[in-house]
Structures are given as structure tokens and as C-alpha cells.
């Protein structure tokens, strides 16, 4: 039955397997940003906490976009298991640096799926991922801008409070 379903899909099996991996990655990002929101709340960075609550929701939306795409093409999306979420950060700078690392890893992963879809001649998957490629440009840019703001503001004296206030500029 499963094999029949896989044959009836309008995308390649390899693409589906990679997209299921991406579902897991987006779920991991959502859970990671929720943990970061918790860290920010506990350490008095309340605006940054709002930023990460929103990021967490957006990552879940990304996950669901892929999930629903797999349903639309007759595939089998898998509900991901998410474990080992880090809750320990040494500073607000550490939080945003980890965020950038995370987003760069997501970008690389999306690009790998696009390249594989291209190699397979899977135009449906390639086109579907256009949105994600551009979304990653925006997400990386946001975090780089925040890290630039942090380095200009500095973390001495009232700097930390100013950093938290300024993060509000990146909450839509």
C-alpha cells in the first residue's frame, strides 16, 4: 500500500525523504526558538523573548507548509520527533549567534534539496522550494542585522537593556 502511494506521487521519492528531513529541521528550529524565548524571559530580555516566540511560530508554519505540500502531492509527511533541545545559553549574544548558526544550517539544507530536486528533474519540488530559498535570505539578514546592532550598542552598562529594546525593531 505504501509503495503504491509512493508510485502515485507527483514528486520523486528521494525529494519526499529529504523534505521529511526538512520538516524535522523546521520542527527543531521551532522548539529551539521556544527554548530561547524561555531563556530570554528568565534573564529579563522580555522583548527578545517576544521575538523568539514569534520566530518559533513562524518555524512551525514553515514545517506545516512542507507537511501540507507532501499531502498535496500524494506523499507521506511524517510527524517529527524533536529531542535534545538546548536551553543553556551564556548570554544574549550567545543566543543570537546560535540563531544565526541555525539559520545558516537551514539555508544549506534547503539548497541541498533544491540541488537534488534539480538533479532528479523534480520541477515540482524545485519550484515549491523557491519561497524557502528567499525566506532564508530574509531570516539570515534579520539575525545578522541584530548581531550588528548588538556589536554597535555594546554589552556594557545599559547596553544590554538597549539591545533588548532595539530587538523590538525586528518584530513585525
The residue ranges that bind ligand FEO (CB under 6 A) are 26, 29, 59, 62, 103, 106, 139
Nearest to ligand FEO of 11, 25 (CB atom): 25
Nearest to ligand FEO of 160, 167 (CB atom): 167
Nearest to ligand FEO of 59, 122 (CB atom): 59
Shortest Å, Cβ 106 to ligand FEO = 4
Phi first, then psi: what are they for 79, rounded to 5°? -70, 120
Cα(7)–Cα(100) distance, integer angstroms: 38
- Determine the residue with CB nearest ligand FEO: 62
Closest CA to 150 of 86, 105, 103, 97: 97
Shortest Å, Cβ 161 to ligand FEO = 27
Shortest Å, Cβ 93 to ligand FEO = 19
Nearest to ligand FEO of 12, 62 (CB atom): 62
B/e letters for 79-102, b = 16+ CB within 10 Å, e = fewer, are: ebeeeeeeeebeebeebbbebbeb
Nearest to ligand FEO of 15, 30 (CB atom): 30
Judge contact between 11 and 73, C-beta under 8 A.
yes
Shortest Å, Cβ 62 to ligand FEO = 4
Shortest Å, Cβ 127 to ligand FEO = 18
Q: Assign 3-class secondary structure to 5-47.
A: HHHCCCCCHHHHHHHHHHHHHHHHHHHHHHHHHHHHHHCCCHH
Amino acid at each position: 500500500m505504501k509503495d503504491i502511494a509512493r508510485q502515485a506521487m507527483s514528486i520523486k521519492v528521494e525529494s519526499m525523504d529529504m523534505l521529511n528531513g526538512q520538516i524535522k529541521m523546521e520542527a527543531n528550529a521551532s522548539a529551539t526558538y521556544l527554548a530561547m524565548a524561555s531563556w530570554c524571559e528568565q534573564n529579563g530580555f522580555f522583548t527578545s523573548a517576544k521575538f523568539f516566540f514569534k520566530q518559533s511560530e513562524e518555524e512551525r508554519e514553515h514545517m506545516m507548509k512542507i507537511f501540507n505540500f507532501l499531502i498535496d502531492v500524494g506523499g507521506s509527511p511524517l510527524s517529527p520527533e524533536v529531542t535534545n533541545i538546548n536551553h543553556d545559553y551564556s548570554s544574549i549574544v550567545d543566543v543570537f549567534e546560535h540563531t544565526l548558526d541555525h539559520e545558516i544550517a537551514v539555508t544549506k539544507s534547503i539548497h541541498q534539496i533544491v540541488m537534488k530536486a534539480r538533479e532528479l528533474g523534480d520541477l515540482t519540488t524545485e519550484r515549491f522550494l523557491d519561497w524557502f530559498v528567499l525566506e532564508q535570505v530574509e531570516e539570515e539578514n534579520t539575525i545578522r542585522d541584530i548581531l550588528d546592532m548588538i556589536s554597535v550598542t555594546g554589552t556594557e552598562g545599559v547596553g544590554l537593556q538597549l539591545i533588548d529594546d532595539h530587538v523590538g525593531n525586528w518584530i513585525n
